[in-house]
Structure 1
Amino acid sequence: MSSSDDEIPLSRKMNGSNGVRAPVSAKTIPKSVDAALDKANPSKDHVQPGISIRNGPMEDHDHHMPDVNGVEINGSTSKRKSRGSLAKPSYAEAESSDEDNQPLSKRQRTSAQKAGDIAESDSDDVPLVSKSHIRRPPRASPAQIGGLSDSDAPIEQKLVAEKEKIQKKAAKEAVAIRKEEKKAASTPAKRKAKVKDEDGKGPDAAKAQKKSAPKIAGSKKVNGVKKEDLSDDDVPLSKKSTSSKTSKKVKAEASTPVKKGSKGKEAKKEESADAEEDEEEEYRWWEDPAKGDGTKKWDTLQHQGVIFPPPYEPLPKNVKMLYDGKPISMHPDAEEVATFFGSMLNSTHNVENPTFQRNFFKDFQDILKKTGGAKDNSGEKVAIKDFAKCDFRPIYDYYAAQREAKKALPAAEKKKLKAEKDAVEAPYMYCTWDGRKQKVGNFRVEPPGLFRGRGEHPKTGTVKTRVMPEQITINIGKEAKVPPPPEGHKWKEVRHDQEGTWLAMWQENVNGNYKYVMLAANSDVKGQSDYKKFEKARELKKHIDRIRADYQKGLRAALTSDRQKATAVYLIDQFALRAGNEKGEDEADTVGCCSLKFEHVTLREPNTVIFDFLGKDSIRFYDEVKVDPQVFKNLKLFKKPPKEEGDEIFDRLTTSALNKHLSNYMTGLTAKVFRTYNASYTMATLLKDMKSTGTANEKVKDYNDANREVAILCNHKRTVAAGHAGQMEKLSERIKGVRYQQWRIKQMMLDIDPKLKKKKGAEYFELPQDLDEEWIHEHQAYLVDEQKSKITKKFEKDNEKLRAEGEREMKAKELEEKLEPARELEKKFKKENKTKKVEAEGKGPTIEKMEAKLTQLDQRLANMSLQAEDKENNKEVALGTSKINYIDPRLTVVFSKKFNVPIEKFFSKTLREKFDWAIKSVDEKWEF
């Protein structure tokens, strides 16, 4: 479909920086232009794409990185969060996004860059990062590719071959699936005969069975295939029938366990009633085909609303902000805004940012004007005009002391405060959704503060005002009791929107975004959202070959819009680029494929493309990739003069147009489905051929190797984390410590039987070369200090417990007595260093006991070495992100069950709750 100039968005026609009409690509591409490009770059060799020379989003902020296109770009680590609407609120179901699935601890980190400390934060806003704290991701080494590192072929060639092999397999599988569907649809008689052969009941019985089975809402087919023709592995779990006698029996047994000695129907009825009262039967929603098909999300909904942050507590009279060295007083509302800035002085990358300072100071001055201004100690008004004269240090010191005091509270007091807090929050933590208790995710209204934003956000530092009940809309069932607002207030609106999965919403003042209170990640609704996402990716298997064939053909289309469309799909599929959306002037300049600008893409002959831009959440994306020669020529054409910096590359394409094009292949197909499909299909292919043996730790490493390969083949890599080197050094020290322990035990063996040196050889008892005398002395001092620290901490904890129970505390003298073993150890080490002899330790030491200890240490050393190797290999790969967001969790469950590895090795408690549906719904034979 062609695009006229009228169909091109205005923002694509006008250059946002100066309002001048931007150059737009010609509507059609003459054959002469193609011929000229072919002549200029004659390479026609097939290039299998999708392998980065350098890989991934920029997440490390420790080193300066030179600019690539003459433009330096910020990057930041951020909590992932989808942008809200800037217009009127939407009451439809909020779409589940990848970032919602990310663990909270990974979403946001605020750091004092100078101090190097990293602290988690619950704020929805994300800190900025200095331009000078960026570096390029390193190249992937052969060791980091796991199983691909064995042959002598160059690593890049092996990766290309592996990816090409997987894509060819995918194409064959897609053809086979469609062929099977076509065959099944055209032979209904054979299907009936098949049913009769399998169950011996004949077609009439089959009809009756089909009639009694739950109906699939909206369609008689599952992903285009009639249900009875699909194997268990091919049918989406939500479409499978649970009407079989076996499943009913299992379900009944699970919900009503039989008591020993119970007899007769009456006993069974009573027991069933008791079980129903004591424990609600587990709701296996993934086996309920009627759920989640329509737009109506619930029938009944009851909840308690939201919790508001506590009111502001004014500072003590002796704590004041200083202006030009003098303390000033102000209205509590203005003082509160001053505390926003003062309490975060340790976050230097925010408070030292000129934009952050400028926006804060403007809002601070506004609130001062509204509240009567500031006064000095004599009551005279003080004009706050110069930010440089403001000193917030007294405020920071006050809050820092408050934090330390809270940390120093006795354990009993902390426990009491937590219990009180939990008691207040308990009613808000759960809602009743269609009669079932569901956990609520974010029932706390965000407190006022300073907006941090992402990347170079123009509004960073702006005051986020306190959210009042009058701004909040409640969504609840018609028959349910509406939660009362705080006394003296009322809700903005009460709705009964059964199409929405939100419980409450409000509009924040900084960007006009809407914030929603949703169910927790482990709730049925969120689980269904995840399930649908992975089923959508699973359905893409049937169409991937046609899509790839079409965009390969479209790379030479005469219409520019078609060629841009094909090139964009190629980049999204092969390099995991996001589609991208256009941004407003007050938003950070983050982009995706469709919104790439001239300066974001650098071309290097013959077919290397360098991407360098701010991606999602303002994380810098830098990637060097080899592309198909025709794609290289197309990008060269799309950047052709008079285009320059600031001009769009895909100027005849929008994200909505691209997704509309993709939906022609498959209902609901959008650009982001490719990321999930490619990761899941690649992982499924690797797991199918895997033969994992050895210990549980070795099997986990096999899984991680496969996960790492997925990240590399699908371009989901990241840069090395700032703390990686330190972590590896600590692990190395621990390994050396175990080897030193082994050496000491061998010396004890010689103390018991000196003849062993001749039997086993002198080399067996030698000190490892890297454990020199200086290191040994340092390690011995560390072991003594460690023992002293453990004893002291236990002493303090015991005393705390005695205080809480009202008993007499132990005196300092008792601590000195308890520290005696540490002093004895110190003396022992000094004696060993002097005599060069280690005396045997323990009760009745024997050679057999010593050898048993060595065997234990050997196993411990093997585990630690495996851990170190795995950690080093994973330094450039965010395995958690791939595992949670892109790889179907059922594949992890398959690995766990197939190779008998506890699922706890892969999923934390939080993730086990989140992916409960995956853990309970498949066995080791399931296929993606």
Structure 2
Amino acid sequence: MSSDLSDDNMPLARPNGKLSADTISKSEDKAMDKGDSAGTPLAAPVSIRNGPVQDGDAMDVDSPAVNGHKRKTRTSIGQKPSYKDDSDSDDQPMKTAVSDDSDDDVPLKRNTKLPPKASESDMLDMDSDDDDKPLHVKLAQKKAGIEKSAAKDAKKPTPKKKVVKDESDSDAPLASAKGKKRQSNGTVKSKTNGVKKEESDSDAPIRKKAKPAPAPAKGKTAVPVRGKAATTAKGKAAAPAAKKGTKAKKEESEEPAEGDEEEFEWWNKPKKEDDSTKWETLEHNGVMFPPLYEPLPKHVKLLYDGTPVTLHPDAEEVATFFGGMLHQPHHVENPTFQSNFFADFRKVIDETGGAKDKQGNKVDIKKFDKLDFKPIFEYMQAQSEMKKNRSKEEKKAESEAKKELEKPYNFCKWDGRTQKVGNFRVEPPSLFRGRGEHPKTGRLKLRVAPEQITINIGKEAKVPAPPPGHKWKAVQHDKTATWLAMWQENINGAYKYVMLAANSDVKGQADFNKFEKARELKKYIDKIRRDYTRDLRAEVMADRQRATAIYLIDKLALRAGNEKDTENEAETVGCCSLKYEHITLREPDTVIFDFLGKDSIRYYDEVKVERQVFKNLKMFKKPPKSEGDDIFDRLTTSSLNKHLSTYMKGLTAKVFRTYNASYTMSKLLGEMEANTHLTMAEKIAVYNKANREVAILCNHKRTVGANHEAQMEKLGDRIKGLKYQKWRTKAMMLAVDPKQKKKKGADYFALDEELDEQWIQDHIKFLVEEQRTKTTKKFEKENEKRKADGEKPHPEKELKARLKEVDELEKQLKKEAKTKKVEPEGKSPSVDKYETAVKKIDERIHTQEIAAADREGNKEVALGTSKINYIDPRLTVVFCKKFDVPIEKFFSKTLREKFNWAIKSIQDDEWEF
């Protein structure tokens, strides 16, 4: 293929920096194999601009946007101080028109590790050998085979889609009979709309709520297990497992604005020829503005050089923004943050009449160092504590009042169907945080006025009224746009949009189209790879750069990267915008990447590439290029995408991430054979293992959480607690029938070597303290109920009597630890009962060990991002059907609503990506 040319027939290039030569001669290409004659610093150290590389350095955390909200990301350990707190990142609640290779659909038109069981190994033999190799190295080896499979698949005819016939000729939405929804398992469920609350899209699978253990017999106290309910009195060593299929709690839901509706199964409807028109009728109630500022009490003042100053409410509000952040030194001690804040603060002070002392004299605020925000901070902290300590009734009343205020904005009517609105709140004013070392951090985000907001609504619909005394910037009726309202924020000039929720039909169709486009790429991927492999040796520099970039995007899942205004934006890059200092070359074929990627997350990786790719990168770094110059100086993201679209309509660089993630997952899951002998925990671990490999492929890495070790220690203690419980149960068996020792052998009844004397003593303390806490809380709860029912509360001596039983338990456990003898518990104790109990405990131990291994394996990998954004959800549904796993184990309630189309459209486990 020829290179993309601009109108003046010159190769597309960046306006600044040194350019590579137009063409590469064959002799020059061959000379590259004779060593580093060109003087490229192959042995140069890795760029230290982002700090030294340390264990746990993050590579990349994709921030999936759900309803326009970005999930919070972790900052690399190895980065130089960025004064950024992950818990208080500048989460943008609205979509922006300008994004760094965003994986979201654009709202406007284009023009505006535990050793596996044998059965587990049979299913997914990923760690059976070469255990010393890093997971990403093993994945690279496996990926070569997957790519060969992709080449074969490209030549196969596309399988026909199974379409549910609509017997009627009408355009009425398809729905199940009698207004009820039919689930993918064939059962009928009453229809519901809306959601109870936003659930976390965490990587942890949802656990079934365990049945509470039966109460111990009178006079006995159950011996608890760390983190779980323990053996009950007189024999019942473990609570029976909850019956399969039972639900712990019925999910509630908010009612939509205008009642229940039959589900519209749009995925079974024919695709429109022209999908530029998004709606025919649209009704909504506009946006919800944040509450107005409430001035501080008169005794709470900002201090300047020790003097309390009075400010206009508008200026005082800005002071509270900074004052309320004093517990975040990473922000307020950042010189850039301070400088930007102070400049904007002074501007507001000047515009509102200045600052005055007690006597009304003007106070000239000139130096930031003389400002003291402590009185404001202390007041705001006190108010926060008061709010936390309110009664349940007060919190409930406030919650109900809040819901009532939000009710009109929660839903809209889209083509006559009720749809949930995702983000109807206008952002309140605040101080901009930014991600990484953003040059505008600390700037004042102004309050958005109705006059800045454009409403998009149906021509026949009633236009929502703006607040009294105000008017909208404009009202339009654009049927090609999917946003309901928009405005431009003042920091980066980005546009914010009010969009439908992630579980809406429109969003579902956008996700569906994204994954279908990735599926379509299967037909063209082999040709694309053959072409770019050929062009790696092209004589035209622009063609060679483009081929090398596509190689990196395809093989390493790099983002394409967009043009940036580096003076006003954080210096983050993608493949096309890589600079000289971002890669280091090490002979013969190792490339070291070190740069800040999306959301200012550090990307560091050492990868082996094809020799020709290595040679090309060496060529792209030839002098006179130096630090600051572009690697791909004759390539832009737009020209790259224009080239890709010649293969397939709508193909862009970001489709490769979705395709590679989904195709790899489909091949990994396809290697698995349905195995009924696997436990639920083993099935989940197998799925997570495949998901983890895809996440590594996509560079979805994270720093190890600060509390990871503590969590693993707690999980280890829980497993030891179960082993202690198993020993006690076996000891009871021996107490019932001493002959069992000879029959089963002394080793069977031996205490696990992990349970040393010190651990047992600590465990006993833990169990006793936990039981005391539970007993006290239960007593208090009973008295609260008795008061509410008008009954006399239990006397304090009742609590003392109950706590005395706990003291007896402590003596009993200490005696057992010393004598190694345990008295039988439960009614009609027998060897058979205890043997059954031991088997159940062994199952629980195995489940916990799998969970611990899974968590340890996931400590540096973010599973959620690839699962939510890049792996076709239908693959997860197929896995669940094939292995008889509830979809709840992988998709939270929020995700089940978001991917409802995938759950409902897959009828069996035969579907293929």
> Partner amino acid for 1:23?
K
Separation in 1 of the partners of 2:299 and 2:176? 68
Separation in 2 of the partners of 1:25 and 1:9? 11
Separation in 2 of the partners of 1:681 and 1:110? 29
**Does residue 502 of the first structure (1) align with residue 476 of the second (2)?**
no
> Partner amino acid for 2:165?
T
CA positional deviation for 1:125: 8.3
Map Cα deviations across residues 743-768 of structure 1 (whole Å, 9 max, x no partner). 22222233333333333222222222
Map Cα deviations across residues 394-422 of structure 1 (whole Å, 9 max, x no partner). 22222222222222222222111111111
CA positional deviation for 1:521: 0.3
Q: How does 1:136-535 map to 2 (within 5 A)?
A: 147-152=125-130, 155=133, 158-177=138-157, 231-232=160-161, 240=163, 242-243=165-166, 254-255=177-178, 279-291=260-272, 293-535=274-516
Separation in 2 of the partners of 1:405 and 1:637? 64
Q: 1:797 to 1:366 in 2, by over 3 A?
A: farther
Are the counterparts in 2 of residues 595 and 648 from structure 1 also a CA contact under 8 Å? Answer: yes
- Corresponding position of 2:520: 539
> Partner amino acid for 2:672?
M
Separation in 2 of the partners of 1:142 and 1:832? 34
Separation in 1 of the partners of 2:660 and 2:76? 32
> Partner amino acid for 1:294?
D
Count of residue pairs brought into register by the alignment: 793
> Partner amino acid for 2:142?
E
Report the secondary structure of 2:605's partner residue: strand
Are the counterparts in 1 of residues 430 and 444 from structure 2 also a CA contact under 8 Å? Answer: yes
- Corresponding position of 1:656: 638
Q: How does 1:24-39 map to 2 (within 5 A)?
A: 24-39=19-34
Separation in 1 of the partners of 2:713 and 2:372? 40
Are the counterparts in 1 of residues 75 and 602 from structure 2 also a CA contact under 8 Å? Answer: no
- Corresponding position of 2:14: 12
CA positional deviation for 1:706: 1.6
2:598 to 610, 616, 623: 616
CA positional deviation for 1:152: 4.8
1:597 to 559, 570, 579: 579
Report the secondary structure of 1:431's partner residue: strand
Q: 1:249 to 1:618 in 2, by over 3 A?
A: closer
Q: Name which of structure 1's ranges 864-873 and 715-724 shifts more when overlaid on structure 2.
A: 715-724
5+ unaligned residues in a row in structure 1: which ranges?
Answer: 15-21, 43-65, 82-97, 127-139, 181-229, 234-239, 259-276
Separation in 2 of the partners of 1:109 and 1:632? 30
CA positional deviation for 1:716: 4.0
CA positional deviation for 1:704: 1.3
Separation in 1 of the partners of 2:558 and 2:82? 33
Q: Name which of structure 1's ranges 799-808 and 717-726 shifts more when overlaid on structure 2.
A: 799-808
Map Cα deviations across residues 433-474 of structure 1 (whole Å, 9 max, x no partner). 000000000011111111001111100010111111111111
> Partner amino acid for 2:34?
K
Q: 1:641 to 1:79 in 2, by over 3 A?
A: closer
1:829 to 795, 798, 813: 813
> Partner amino acid for 2:384?
R
Q: 1:279 to 1:421 in 2, by over 3 A?
A: closer
Q: 1:816 to 1:595 in 2, by over 3 A?
A: same
CA positional deviation for 1:159: 3.7
Per the normalisation by structure 1, the TM-score is: 0.80
Separation in 2 of the partners of 1:325 and 1:645? 48
> Partner amino acid for 1:432?
K
CA positional deviation for 1:652: 0.4
- Corresponding position of 1:852: 836
Separation in 1 of the partners of 2:659 and 2:62? 21
Separation in 2 of the partners of 1:10 and 1:331? 53
Separation in 2 of the partners of 1:389 and 1:125? 34
Q: 1:162 to 1:834 in 2, by over 3 A?
A: closer
CA positional deviation for 1:253: 5.5
| Larger fraction in helix | 1
CA positional deviation for 1:552: 0.3
> Partner amino acid for 2:32?
L
Are the counterparts in 2 of residues 76 and 455 from structure 1 also a CA contact under 8 Å? Answer: no
**Percent identical:** 61
Separation in 1 of the partners of 2:822 and 2:650? 72
Q: 1:850 to 1:596 in 2, by over 3 A?
A: same
Q: How does 1:867-878 map to 2 (within 5 A)?
A: 867-878=851-862
Q: 1:820 to 1:102 in 2, by over 3 A?
A: farther
CA positional deviation for 1:116: 13
CA positional deviation for 1:109: 9.8
- Corresponding position of 2:877: 893
Map Cα deviations across residues 748-802 of structure 1 (whole Å, 9 max, x no partner). 2333333333332222222222211211111111112212222333444455556
2:775 to 791, 801, 822: 791
Map Cα deviations across residues 245-303 of structure 1 (whole Å, 9 max, x no partner). 89999967524689xxxxxxxxxxxxxxxxxx985221011112244842110000001
Q: 1:437 to 1:606 in 2, by over 3 A?
A: same
Per the normalisation by structure 2, the TM-score is: 0.81
5+ unaligned residues in a row in structure 2: which ranges?
Answer: 38-43, 95-112, 182-257
> Partner amino acid for 1:616?
K
Separation in 1 of the partners of 2:493 and 2:487? 10
- Corresponding position of 2:607: 625
Q: How does 1:722-733 map to 2 (within 5 A)?
A: 722-733=706-717
Are the counterparts in 1 of residues 453 and 485 from structure 2 also a CA contact under 8 Å? Answer: yes
Q: 1:478 to 1:673 in 2, by over 3 A?
A: same
CA positional deviation for 1:318: 2.4
Q: 1:675 to 1:803 in 2, by over 3 A?
A: farther
Separation in 1 of the partners of 2:775 and 2:589? 64
> Partner amino acid for 2:65?
E
Q: How does 1:507-906 map to 2 (within 5 A)?
A: 507-584=488-565, 585-693=567-675, 694-798=678-782, 812-833=796-817, 835-906=819-890
Q: Name which of structure 1's ranges 412-421 and 562-571 shifts more when overlaid on structure 2.
A: 412-421
- Corresponding position of 2:912: 927
Separation in 2 of the partners of 1:332 and 1:534? 50
> Partner amino acid for 2:632?
F
Q: 1:291 to 1:828 in 2, by over 3 A?
A: farther
Separation in 1 of the partners of 2:709 and 2:866? 23
Separation in 2 of the partners of 1:703 and 1:331? 59
Report the secondary structure of 2:685's partner residue: helix
Are the counterparts in 2 of residues 110 and 118 from structure 1 also a CA contact under 8 Å? Answer: no
Separation in 2 of the partners of 1:916 and 1:836? 55
Superposed CA RMSD in Å reads 3.5
Q: 1:724 to 1:499 in 2, by over 3 A?
A: same
Are the counterparts in 2 of residues 73 and 614 from structure 1 also a CA contact under 8 Å? Answer: no
Q: Name which of structure 1's ranges 654-663 and 814-823 shifts more when overlaid on structure 2.
A: 814-823
CA positional deviation for 1:158: 4.8
Separation in 1 of the partners of 2:381 and 2:76? 16
CA positional deviation for 1:490: 1.2
Report the secondary structure of 1:613's partner residue: strand
- Which is bigger in relative contact order (C-alpha 8 A, separation at least 6)? 2
CA positional deviation for 1:321: 2.3
Q: 1:249 to 1:595 in 2, by over 3 A?
A: closer
Q: 1:877 to 1:253 in 2, by over 3 A?
A: closer
2:46 to 56, 59, 68: 68
